[in-house]
Amino acid sequence: MATQHSRSAARLMLAPAVILLLGWMLVPLIMTLYFSFKNYLPLRGGDLGWAGFENYTRFVTSSSFWPSVATTLIIVGGVLFITVILGIFLAILLNQPMWGQGIVRILVIAPFFVMPTVSALVWKNMFMDPNYGLLAYLWEFFGATPVEWLSKASMPSIITIVSWQWLPFATLILLTAIQSLDSEQLEAAEMDGASATKRFAYITLPHLGRAITVVILIQTIFLLSIFAEIFVTTGGAFGTKTLSYLIFQRVLESQNVGLGSAGGVYAIILANIVAVFLMRIVGKNLDA
Amino acid sequence: MGRITLDKVTKSFGDTNVIPPLDLTINDGEFVVFVGPSGCGKSTLLRLIAGLEDVSSGQIRIDGEDATNLAPAKRKLAMVFQSYALYPHMSVRKNIAFPMKMAGVDEAEQKKRIEAAAKALNLTDYLDRRPGQLSGGQRQRVAIGRAIVREPSAFLFDEPLSNLDAALRVNMRLEISELHNQLKTTMIYVTHDQVEAMTMADKIVVLRAGHIEQVGSPLELYREPRNKFVAGFIGSPKMNFIEGSVAAQHGAHTIGIRPEHITASETAGLWQGVVGVAEHLGSDTFLHVHNTGLTDTITVRVNGEFGLRHGDTVYLNPEMDKLHKFDAQGLRIA
């Protein structure tokens, strides 16, 4: 369609954006790769020369490496499971005609606008604190001993906090998908003798397939690098150290930039492995 | 069996009364067409029969049994929707099998009925495709196939041809009529197109604002419309209505004459006018004649070609025995 002239003009006009994006992504990536082969300890002598693959072997052989990968995957999987299931449920609920629909929808979306640090602090101090948190009062009301959430049930607590943050996103995407479902299809299924549960299983759920895929892919990208919620609640203690938190500790707490950079490269590899698996499992929903 | 009786059925949405008390009997094996302008309540009426809407008062009986509060699936009716409402993620085969699967029909029987329906509807080669890969006419046939395999006591069609192009519409019209002749099942068909109503129906129900204006066979409605509305709605091009002194001569408030009951002449006739637009269809020519002093435009249908051009004078001879007379309320005067 386009002529030679308009094509070259298009390339010219796209160039600034492409170059900016490339620089934005390539510079940090190359610097990470560069530092990962360096023995770089800012407070203990600075640049101490090339390290070869030593940083890489040290990072993987550390006793915290595999637990941190497992923690990352458990948090990502747990949050995905909770947000998708509850998201579908909430989306169906919000799609019902009811009084005050607009306000209810805004309230449901609200958690997404709270910054991760703030929401984690609110959960930590107002809900999960074993002395004066709301959950402690609830437990005491029923005569039970308050649970020390963040130390005794650290993983479920963090998964709850992160799920609370991401549930609005899942709900919103799934709600728009449900709204695009042709009501005549549901009526046809009703006339064909399908009960409400069967209509959900055979019509609504397949219709949501693509939206669920989008939710899973986008949330995975963000959840793999989850940090603030862990930083302000457990500080990586009680088995909540994710890969990104481990890298943070290596770089800032141990002041070993080289070792941390090697961890960063592992994080990239892990993200890509997860991405390949996800695309295999759910990616086929995106075409057709 | 498929005898459907509506007894004083009404429907209101909030304060809006869509269907005033309405009585109608549809006999077993009949092809009934609900026709009317958009917003006349014909689709609502169909949805009431289907059970997709609840009646506000009155009773619906199917084969003599009260079905007023019966769930749609229990009424043994099958419906073909305007949008076809096929399940996009299922193959054609699974779409057709769906109602049988829900009813728990065994696999062998399912297979048999699918094969039979596919053969009757020319879908055999497309059974493993998805609805998205089919053309409009094929989708329509899948929707019909899904309705047939249930072996319902009546079929409900909600403007099924309105999404098809003109040529395909004529084909599908014939196919549905043919299907009715084969199955001899009751069919209720909703359309706003009077041509579909005329060509397919055993019985036409003309609706306006929820009221039944007239019920009858296509030719009854054509020959003896009960009022001006039915007279204007049935027949294409529309009937010409003339008021004033000419009507008074015939003892009526309004007289109506169909375009095909007027002959045009270049030389002599009862009425005189000027040719406006002439629509040449090959087999016929529709002349729009102005300045007759009777009404704005008189439409005349002439067989074959007609020599006159825009602006020429034309003489018109109505066939007086085919004249329709209406009183001031628009009702037919016998």
> pLDDT tens-digit profile of B269-306?
888 889 988 888 888 889 999 888 788 889 999 888 87
Instruction: Looking at the structure, tell me whether residues B80 and B107 fall in a common domain.
Output: yes
| Kind plus residue range of the DSSP H or E element containing B23 | strand B16-26
- The answer to whether residue B227 sits within a structural domain is yes
- Whether residue A101 contacts residue A109, with contact meaning beta carbons closer than 8 Å, is answered with no
Confidence of residue A96 (pLDDT cuts 50, 70, 90): confident
The model's pTM? 0.79
* Closest CA in chain B for residue A193: B73
Q: Is B169 in the same domain as B273?
A: no
DSSP bridge partners of B203:
B32
Enter the DSSP assignment of A182: -
Instruction: Name residues whose C-beta falls within 8 Å of residue A188's C-beta, 6 or more positions apart in sequence.
Output: B79, B81, B85, B87, B146
Q: At residue B186, does pLDDT exceed 90?
A: yes
Interchain contact B81–A (C-beta under 8 A): yes
Task: Please check whether residue B334 lies inside any domain of the structure.
Answer: no
A184 in contact with B, Cβ within 8 Å: yes
Nearest Cα residue to B203 out of B28, B27, B32: B32
Contact B50 A191 (CB under 8 A): yes
- Residue B90: CATH number of its domain: 3.40.50.300
A285 reaches B (C-beta below 8 A): no
Domain boundary among B231, B247, B276: B231
Same domain, B248 and B104: no
Asked if B54 is an interface residue toward chain A (Cβ–Cβ < 8 A), one would say no
- For A195-209, the pLDDT digits (tens) are 889 999 999 998 998
Has residue B331 been placed in a domain?
no
Put residue B32 in one of left, alpha, beta given phi > 0 → left and psi -120 to 50 → alpha: beta
Q: Does the CA dihedral A36-A41-A46-A51 come out positive or negative?
A: negative
B11 domain residue, yes or no: yes
Of B231, B265, B285, the domain-final residue: B231
Shared domain check, B173 and B27: yes
Nearest to B176 by CA among B194, B192, B196, B162: B196
Q: What are phi and psi of B285, to 5 degrees?
A: -130, 130
CATH architecture assignment, domain A4-285? Orthogonal Bundle (1.10)
Chain B residue closest in CA terms to A184: B85
User: What is the residue extent of each domain of chain A?
Assistant: 4-285
Looking at the structure, tell me whether residues B223 and B242 fall in a common domain. no
Q: Kindly state whether B133 is in contact with chain A, defined as any CB-CB distance less than 8 angstroms.
A: no
Shared domain check, B297 and B247: yes
Q: Show the domain range for B56.
A: 4-231
| B260 and B220 part of one domain | no
Of all residues in chain B, the one with the smallest CA distance to A204 is B87
CA B173/CA B185 separation, integer angstroms: 16
Residues B209 and B305 in one domain: no
Examine the pLDDT at B116 and tell me if it is beyond 70. Answer: yes
Question: Among B184, B200, B231, where does a domain finish?
Answer: B231
B275 and B155 housed in the same domain? no
Is residue B20 domain-resident? yes
In a domain, B168, yes or no: yes
In 3D, which of B99, B282, B80 has the Cα closest to residue B164?
B80
pLDDT at residue number A1 = 53
Is the pLDDT confidence value at B104 over 90?
no
Residue B54 lies in a domain: yes
Given a cut of 90, whether residue B258 has pLDDT beyond it is: yes
**One domain for residues B254 and B225:** no
B113 in helix, strand or coil? Answer: helix
ipTM: 0.81
CATH number at residue B294: 2.40.50.140
| pLDDT band at A40; cut points 50, 70, 90 | confident
Contact A192 B50 (CB under 8 A): no
Regarding whether B189 and B108 lie in a shared domain, the answer is yes
Q: Does A198 contact chain B (CB < 8 Å)?
A: yes
Task: Judge whether B332 lies within some domain.
Answer: no
Rg for chain A, CA atoms, rounded:
24
Say yes or no: B283 and B157 in one domain. Answer: no
